[in-house]
Amino acid sequence: MFLQIHTLTTYPASLLNRDDAGLAKRIPFGDAIRLRISSQCLKRHWREDLTAQLPDVPDGLRTRSFFTRCVRPRAEALGVPEPALDELVEVLAKGVLRTGKGDKDGGVKAGGDLNQPVLFGVREADYFARLIKEASTKDNPAEALEDRLKDKQERENLKAMSKSAAGLTAALFGRMVTSDLLARVDAPVHVAHAFTVHAAHTELDYFTVVDDLNRDDETGAAHANQTELGSGLYYGYVVVDLPLLISNITGTEGKDWKTQDNELPKRILTALIQSILRRSPGAKLGSTAPYAWADLLLLEVGHTQPRSLANAFLRAVDTRGDVRRNAAQAMLEYLSRLDRMYGKEDGAQRFLSTSLDLDQDTDGRLAPVLPVPSAVEQALMALWS
């Protein structure tokens, strides 16, 4: 079962996602070069918004300093004495991250920091802190902790831990590391790079900084520079693999997803859709205020392999008139043509919400226009029907 989320969102003068040269990211598509927002950028901002919307849902931490800045303070709070603490943190990190391929340190630096960022859950930090606490009570704490981490049952615990999602972020967007024990968690939320439905529109913005303490005879700017700004209407596309999402949340097999309680998955999906619609990415917040909400949301629920509607924009949309309406018409007409070609999937349902005045013969046949809360509610009901 899949939930597909299509959006159209317009941004005025802004710099939403930069490349290594500080310029707006681009991608060639169809007959024009487009502005682009990477999926990594989108997910980062959605993640921040989701944790604010769902403060009661445990999240994870993507960091190289998990053992030194997260586990260590917890172990210290449990009363582990300072002289042994640093050594035990390093022993723990090496034992947990050991690859089993001849790498004695498991990608761990002296002191316990990691060579690569890894996504861990907060509950895992609590568990590891308790391991350190228990070891600290032994005659030889470091040796006791090493033995505990080599114990067959503990290795099974760590393997089980590696197969579960480390908090909300991993449950949604997955976890990928290179060590054996901390295996990958597949992402049930698949995010496409957003791109403008028309050709890229940018210009270089030249700016200066004036020195407030300049005397009358001191002319010129204290600083001068330039930055690239762009504007455009972006098509966004997200797919949610519902059985995998529930599997990540509950730790059960994907085939058993329908038997699990759906209260938390529904809350998470509702929050995710709200983040997609309302959370703006962007640099230069203070000088461009790049805040926008989507003007169109199309939700699709079905069993067959999802498909993007990006091909509706292979020919760059005409920017004369209302580019939002032009893009929405192009997208829904392309969807109608796909229906004529393949036939509409049995049981598939669509839910449309938009601020645009569309042709009734275009949107009425595909999906009734609903307020966002109603569209989301009905889509979630369809997922579990």
What is the per-residue pLDDT across 314-351, written as a single tens digit (0 to 9) for each? 999 998 889 999 999 999 999 999 999 999 888 899 99
Alpha helices in the chain (DSSP H): 39-53, 66, 72-77, 82-97, 122-136, 141-150, 152-163, 167-173, 242-250, 263-278, 285-288, 323-342, 360-363, 372-384
Task: List the Cα angle 382/376/271 in 5-degree steps.
Answer: 120
Question: What crossing angle do the helices spanning 141-150 and 152-163 adopt, rounded to 10°?
Answer: 70
pLDDT digits (tens, 9 = 90+) for 183-223: 567 889 999 999 999 999 888 877 778 877 787 777 777 77
The answer to whether 10 touches 324, Cβ cutoff 8 Å, is yes
Asked whether residue 382 carries a pLDDT value surpassing 70, the answer given is yes
Tokens 């199309």 identify what position?
298
Q: CA dist 96 to 66, 104, 177, 225, 253, Å? A: 12, 11, 13, 48, 25
Confidence at residue 94, expressed as pLDDT on a 0 to 100 scale: 85
CB–CB of 91/150 below 8 Å? Answer: no
What distance in Å separates the CA atoms of residue 61 and residue 44, rounded to the nearest whole number? 12
pLDDT for 175 equals: 67
Q: Residue 138 corresponds to which tokens in the numbers above?
A: 């032994």
Q: Find the helix packing angle between 141-150 and 82-97, rounded to 10°.
A: 20
pLDDT at 220: 74
Predicted pLDDT at 178: 45
